Amino acid sequence: MAQRKAELQQRVEDLLGEAKRQGASAAEAGVSSDAGLSLTVRLGETETIEHTRDNGLGVTVYFGRRKGAASTSDLSPQALKETVAAACNFARYTSEDPCAGLADAGLMATDLPDLALYHPWKQSVEQGIERAIRCETAARELDTRIVNSEGATLNSHDGLQVYGNTHGFIGGYPSSRHSLSCAVVGKQDENMQRDYWYTLSRQGDRLQSPEQVGMTAAQRTLSRLGARQVATQQAPVLFQADVAVGLLRSFVGAIRGSTLYRKASFLLDHLGRQIFPAFIEIHEEPRLPVGLASAAYDNEGVATARRDFIRDGVLESYVLDSYAARKLGMETTGNAGGVRNLRINSGELDREGLLRKMDRGLLVTELMGQGVNMVTGDYSRGVAGFWVEGGVIQYPVEEITIAGNLRDMFMGLQEVGTDVETRSSVQSGSWLIDRMMIAGG
């Protein structure tokens, strides 16, 4: 891997040098190399096996405030020159943009610690197939009501990324990501349901066992059998942790620089204002060892650091790259490429405790549709889940819709659970919202 890293660093240096030779005043470039294995079994038989090996190269050049970009999957010296030439040609014919350019040189990362992101999973194709079969078998054999399977899929990928720019910055690191998933179909009388489960980690030995994944997929499917509608009403809503992550992503989308300078966010001009209850803290930890989104620098080479976005319920920071920052008259927050290991603080209750606190209402376990208006904050989604009475799940529900406004939902957040969803770069426990409109039959 060290030799491959040195080769890709040389490619980046060659790209930057070629850009200068072709007249660019500044340039940045990235090269990546990825390899992996993906396989699926269904009904006990191997369905697909795919080995992947992909390379990618991208360069952005600046002629003053004019910008051009080009990319290719060919890493040969000739392709390198042609890609730079294409980017330069684009730049010569584009109009000037006063906000275009590299991030400020003084913000470049100088400390590049090893964040332990690379953990290759040494297993043969045969071992991978055996693992996936064990997973699906555990699901299919759990209960006779499991009548079909969409299969079990195992993925294992390693990658190496190198980025550099004409400020003199160059950095690169290898990474890995492994997963195992399973989806099955259940039937009871004439009612059929499907559900799934998956495990994901940078470290293969940290994945849940195949049997755990399969049994959880089956249990989730069985729990949905006999689903019904509920009457239209207002009631508290508990978003299960893996669903609540989507609410946190909506928050990030509303404070993203590109959304703000286009005036397309319901949180425009809300910096310094309270948008969550005072007990809520939301922060990112980009240098977390083994983190799913960890990096010592962002996509522009800017040093990353722990950052509070919400402190005591108050919006403390936007999510900015250098271009958005210039458009807004601010400074980049080191978030080119997005947030890294975002986390909302948890309270003291697990999911069962949150159900008891809710007493009566809707537990949401799946969201459907794209009904989120980032300009107004209006929120309307189809959902599936469970109806709760007396703090206890009573029956599954489906074909219902919940509606509200993200402003009210954020301020109406009563508690965040300790049941943190860890399979995502954005992590959260379950969210208990005080009240939403529920539309059923």
**Other Cβ atoms closer than 10 A to 356:** 13
> Is residue 286 a part of any domain in this protein?
no
Q: Please answer whether residues 391 and 401 qualify as being in contact, where contact means their C-beta atoms are separated by less than 8 angstroms.
A: no
- How far apart CA 67 and CA 88 sit, in angstroms, is 8
The reply to whether 187 and 80 lie within a common domain is yes
**Strand pairing report for 361-368 and 233-239:** parallel
Q: Write out pLDDT tens, residues 127-149.
A: 999 999 999 999 999 999 999 99
Please determine, for residue 319, whether its predicted confidence score (pLDDT) is greater than 70.
Answer: yes
Strands 378-389 and 392-405: antiparallel
In this structure, the answer to whether residues 21 and 134 fall within a common structural domain is: yes
Q: Enter the DSSP assignment of 372.
A: B
Answer whether residue 179 is part of any domain. yes
The pLDDT, as a whole number, for residue 441 is: 61
Mean pLDDT within 4-14: 93
What are 17-58's pLDDT values in tens digits? 999 999 999 999 999 999 999 999 999 999 999 999 999 999
Give, in order, the Cα–Cα distances in Å from 150 to each of 48, 134, 186, 275, 398.
13, 14, 11, 42, 21
Select from 168, 190, 223 the last residue of a domain: 223
Whether residue 211 is found in the same domain as residue 238: no
Residue 309 has pLDDT above 90, yes or no: yes
Indicate if the pLDDT at residue 192 is higher than 80: yes
One domain, residues 86 and 27: yes
Is residue 427 domain-resident?
Answer: yes
Q: Among 91-95, 401-405, 414-418, whose mean pLDDT is lowest? A: 91-95
Estimate the crossing angle of helix 125-140 against helix 210-223, to 10 degrees: 30
To the nearest 10 degrees (0 to 180), the angle between helices 77-93 and 2-21 is 40
For residue range 321-355, list pLDDT tens digits in order: 999 999 999 999 999 999 999 999 999 999 999 99
Give me the amino acid identity at 47: E
Inform me whether the pLDDT recorded for 2 exceeds 80.
no
Sign of CA dihedral 92, 98, 99, 102: positive
For the chain, how many structural domains are there in total? Answer: 2
Q: Are residues 209 and 242 in the same domain?
A: no
- Choose one of 191, 223, 255: the last residue of a domain: 223
User: What whole-number percentage of the chain has pLDDT above 90?
Assistant: 95
Amino acid 217: pLDDT = 98
Within a domain: residue 261? Answer: no
Between the alpha carbon of residue 252 and those of residues 32, 255, 316, the distances in Å are 27, 5, 13
Same domain flag for 116 and 238: no
Task: Give the pLDDT confidence of 365-393 residue by residue, as tens digits.
Answer: 999 988 899 999 999 999 999 999 999 99
**Which pLDDT belongs to residue 370?**
82
Residue ending a domain, among 223, 257, 274, is 223
Identify the CA nearest to 376 among candidates 267, 273, 228: 267
What pLDDT is attached to residue 85? 96
Print the domain residue range for 412.
Answer: 233-246+346-439
Same domain? 213 vs 72: yes
> What is the pLDDT of the chain when averaged over all its residues?
96
Both 242 and 209 in one domain: the answer is no
pLDDT, position 369? 83
Q: Is the residue at 306 inside a domain? A: no
Closest CA to 57 of 205, 199, 160, 192: 160
Residue 22 lies in a domain: yes
In a shared domain, residues 88 and 237:
no
| Contacts of residue 212, Cβ cutoff 8 Å, sequence gap at least 6 | 138, 199
Euclidean distance between CA atoms 434 and 117, whole angstroms: 39
Give the pLDDT band of residue 4 (cuts 50, 70, 90).
confident
> Same domain, yes or no, for 200 and 241?
no
- Is 391 within the bounds of a domain? yes
- Three-state SS annotation for 215-232: HHHHHHHHHCCCCECCCC
Alpha-carbon distance of 98 to 89, in angstroms, equals 19
Is residue 13 domain-shared with residue 82, that is, in the same domain? yes
Give a yes or no: residue 37 inside a domain.
yes
Q: What is the CATH number of the domain that holds 65?
A: 3.30.2290.10
Do 242 and 149 have their domain in common?
Answer: no
